């Protein structure tokens, strides 16, 4: 689990990121989960664009993505979510 200070640091880092994965209207397919996993291994902190308009369903998608990828939810802003999963040789130094 990340502390609130670490989450705030990751939120600040995420502002300049562009979405690397897009979840379409078909939802979280196996190929989308695979792409998210590959992106997490490459970047650790990623932004994902959602097409879902309902806020409650976007929150459920964030929870499902985190569960399936063992990542930590960092932020949910509008139609975008930010998740983090540290690698063994972490590129991001947490406070």
Q: What is the CATH number of the domain that holds 68?
A: 3.30.110.60
Residue-wise pLDDT tens digits, 25-43: 888 999 999 999 999 999 9
Instruction: For residue 94, tell me if it sits in a domain.
Output: no
Domain assignment present for residue 92? The answer is no
User: Domain of 76?
Assistant: 4-84
Closest listed residue to residue 32, CA positions, set 45, 43, 22, 42: 22
What is the total count of domains within the chain? 1
Pairing between strand 45-50 and 80-84? Answer: antiparallel
Given a cut of 90, is residue 1 above it in pLDDT?
no
Residue 19 falls inside a structural domain: yes
Which pLDDT belongs to residue 74?
A: 97
pLDDT over 70 for what percent of the chain?
Answer: 100
Pairing relation of β-strands 21-23 and 45-50? parallel
Residue 91 domain-assigned (yes or no): no
The secondary structure of residue 89, as a DSSP letter, is S
Report the distance separating Cα 61 and Cα 73, nearest Å.
11
Query: Is residue 35 situated within a structural domain?
Result: yes
Give the pLDDT confidence score for residue 47 in this predicted structure: 97
Report whether pLDDT(71) > 90: yes
Say if 89 falls within a structural domain: no
Residue 93 pLDDT exceeds 90: no
Q: Closest Cα partner for 14 from 86, 83, 66, 67?
A: 83
Look at residue 95 and tell me if it is in a domain: no
Q: Flag whether pLDDT at 88 surpasses 90.
A: no
């Amino acid at each position: 689990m990340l502390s609130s200070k670490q989450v705030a640091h990751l939120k600040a880092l995420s502002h300049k990121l562009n979405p690397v994965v897009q979840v379409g209207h078909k939802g979280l397919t196996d190929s989308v989960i695979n792409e998210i996993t590959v992106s997490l291994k490459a970047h650790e902190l990623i932004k994902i664009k959602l097409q879902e308009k309902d806020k409650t369903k976007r929150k459920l998608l964030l929870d499902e993505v985190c569960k399936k990828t063992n990542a930590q939810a960092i932020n949910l802003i509008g139609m975008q979510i930010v998740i983090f999963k540290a690698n063994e040789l972490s590129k991001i130094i947490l406070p």
